[in-house]
Amino acid sequence: MDILNQLKSKFSEYVIETHSQCGDATLVIKKEGVIPLFSYLKTSPELDFNFLMDLTAVDYLGREGSRFEVVYHLYSLSKNHCLRVKVDVGEEDSSLDSVSSLWPAANWYEREVWDMFGIKFKGHPDLKRILMYEEFQGHPLRKDYPVNRRQPLVKPVPMN
């Protein structure tokens, strides 16, 4: 049984859609399924997705339904297979469970998504800005971010 069919049957209550194009297997899930599904992907010996290659977000401003999509790219070093997992996140409740307890690299990826898009990751150990300074207002990769917006100035830190 291929990975997508296996996951669709095991997690049918969370899987919205699956597709494979040009060898890229993609799974679209409900946000409630993040922890159970990703825990299985990481700990299942037959899947062994031990490497989180990337975690990012997309802003679909104006799209019906959820505005944001968080995209995970997973890889198994031992099995040599990849999986893309997409999770829709609404604008009103722009939060998702953190996977940093499963893959420590998610810590920085989730901080970047928070900083750039404003999507919060529940259970993250240190969710704070990583690319912008703390006083920065807004999230610059949101499509409705005003590009001409003036940001507060910060004082330079004295060198010792």
Render pLDDT for 80-104 as a digit per residue (tens, 0 to 9). Answer: 999 999 999 999 999 999 999 999 9
CA atoms within 13 A on the CB side of 121: 28
Question: Whole-angstrom Cα distance, residue 77 to residue 9?
Answer: 24
Render pLDDT for 65-85 as a digit per residue (tens, 0 to 9). Answer: 999 999 999 999 999 999 999
Would you call 20 helix, strand, or coil by DSSP? strand
Question: Whole-angstrom Cα distance, residue 102 to residue 38?
Answer: 8
Among 139, 135, 129, 138, CA closest to 155: 135
**The Cα angle at residue 66 between residues 28 and 114, in degrees rounded to 5:** 90
Tell me the H-state helices in the chain. Answer: 3-10, 34-43, 106-117
Which fold would CATH assign to domain 3-122? Beta Polymerase; domain 2 (3.30.460)
Render pLDDT for 104-144 as a digit per residue (tens, 0 to 9). Answer: 999 999 999 999 999 999 999 999 999 999 889 999 999 99
